[in-house]
Amino acid sequence: MEMPVPSQHRLDRKSELVLRLRAILPADCVIDDPMETRAYECDALSAYRCPPMAVVLPYTTEQVAQTLKICHDLNIPVVPRGSGTSLAGGAMPTSDSIILGVSRMNDVLDTDYDNRVIRVQTGRTNLSVTGAVEADGFFYAPDPSSQLACAIAGNIAMNSGGAHCLKYGVTSNNLLGVRIVTMQGDILDIGGAHLDAPDLDLLGVICGSEGQLGIVTEATLRIIHKPEGALPVLLGFDSNEVAGACVSDIIRAGVLPVAIEFMDRPCIRATEDFAKAGYPDCEALLIIEVEGSPIEIEEQLEKILAIAATHNPVEMRRANDLQEAARIWLGRKSAFGAMGQINDYMCLDGTIPVSKLPYVLKRIGEMSREFGLGVGNVFHAGDGNMHPLILYNANEPGELEKCEAFGAEILKLCVEVGGCLTGEHGVGIEKRDLMDHQFTRDDLIAQMNIKDVFDPAWLLNPAKVFPLDASASRRDGGM
């Protein structure tokens, strides 16, 4: 993965930078010992690593603003970090940058059930937002699979989704307001407990901007009342086409499940060996979850099973209680771990129109043979968000590169059939150089123009999202 050559000029300023930061921040906020900065050398895309010059972990929005002002003065790039769970390299530093982490800012600032909002500091983890309101029957809906660890700051930066966003939407649909600090150190409040934007919807473009427009330190989030209950059904089919048709028929019948998860045979087999969830050995498996009171769950499951029965399923298994539900979910939830037992894997995240599912799976199978690398597919079928897991051996020279080449071909295929490169993980460095396959240069310039406005010197997370040659003149402007 190509990254810009570190600027010697910036590296030479390290001691001045650290001195100035220490002068205004509490002692434990600034880390510059190379032994300690190493802990921040990568995120969950761990194939790529590079320790930063320093790490700053502030306690307050004002400290974030002061830090950014100093870095702006000294022309030092800043890489924002939530919990470091990005699968796209969104929080990977360069050697001439600093990491600015919000993990110490994790308080709940206000909970307001009448208006159904919670205001939190963004270092708070996704799951602990729900934790703060669940005793009163509420929850925060977006549920990325890293939700135990991932921070709201990162969720906002990447516009994270999750298994249940088919019904509840992604981060952007549940974010009402932010306090954001610009690279110049200005603190801005945008949105709030009221709905929709006056004038231009800045919140809409901030969410999903991968930490390139500002550092969000506080967020106003929509909370909703929990449903009375939820139960899944498991369906097995002999072909991907039939499973895809079944999903389409269920959606058209007006049933809106909270989640529709899909696994293909390689994934089912790996999962069975690992978790022994009792899945049938079939070509395609669906797990469909519905919510509501017992009567409502019954009504929806009946409809789903009736539709599924018309597609010759090899297995139809409905959960009758929470234990059976947990058993159905067991395999799906262990899928990544199961694949990881077989070999190293790379997890992709393209989205395709649901109707293109059978074709895309067939092509992935063909490509798997061409590249000589195994691949298992597990994904959110209701919205076409695929997660192909490509198996490779990281210790074998050249395998990572081969795996990346295979991954790139899959993502290009997603774009070719009318989909996109990333559905919920973000571009980061991982998909940066594929952006030209989805966008024209004019499309990319329109996006980069927004960064020019927020961060004219291109100091915030600069070498991400856009192909390096597309952003080169802008990034060099700040040198």
Scanning residues 429 to 448, which ones bind another protein (CB under 8 A)?
A: 431, 435, 438-440, 442-444, 446-447
Task: Round to whole Å and give the CA distance between 340 and 378.
Answer: 13
Residue list 196-215, contact with another protein (CB under 8 A): 196-205, 207-209
Which range of residues in 71-79, 233-241, 309-317, 421-429 is near another protein by CB under 8 A? 421-429
* Cβ partners under 8 Å of residue 123, min gap 6: 82, 101, 102, 103, 104, 105, 106, 151, 152, 153
Binding residue for another protein (CB under 8 A) from 405, 449, 472, 473?
449
* Cβ partners under 8 Å of residue 370, min gap 6: none
Position 46 contacts another protein (CB under 8 A): no
Binding residue for another protein (CB under 8 A) from 9, 38, 194, 276?
194
Task: Round to whole Å and give the CA distance between 402 and 448.
Answer: 31
Binding residue for another protein (CB under 8 A) from 117, 141, 287, 378?
117
- Give whichever of 55 and 429 is closer to another protein, judged by the CB atom: 429
Residue list 229-258, contact with another protein (CB under 8 A): 247-249, 251-254, 256
Tokens of 131: 């934790």
Position 135 contacts another protein (CB under 8 A): no
Tokens of 346: 């790379």
409 CB neighbour count, 10 Å cutoff: 14
> Does residue 84 come out as left (phi exceeding 0), alpha (psi in the -120 to 50 range) or beta?
left
Position 182 contacts another protein (CB under 8 A): yes
Cβ density class 261-299: b for 16+ within 10 Å, e for less: bbbbbbbbbbbbebbebebbebbbbbbbbbbbeeeebee
Residue count, binding to another protein (CB under 8 A) = 96
Tokens of 11: 């590296």
Residue list 317-356, contact with another protein (CB under 8 A): 351-355
Residue list 284-313, contact with another protein (CB under 8 A): 292-293, 295-296, 298-300, 303
Position 281 contacts another protein (CB under 8 A): no
- Residues constituting the chain: 479
Minimum CB–partner distance for residue 154 and another protein (Å): 12
- Give whichever of 298 and 324 is closer to another protein, judged by the CB atom: 298
Binding residue for another protein (CB under 8 A) from 80, 101, 257, 423?
423
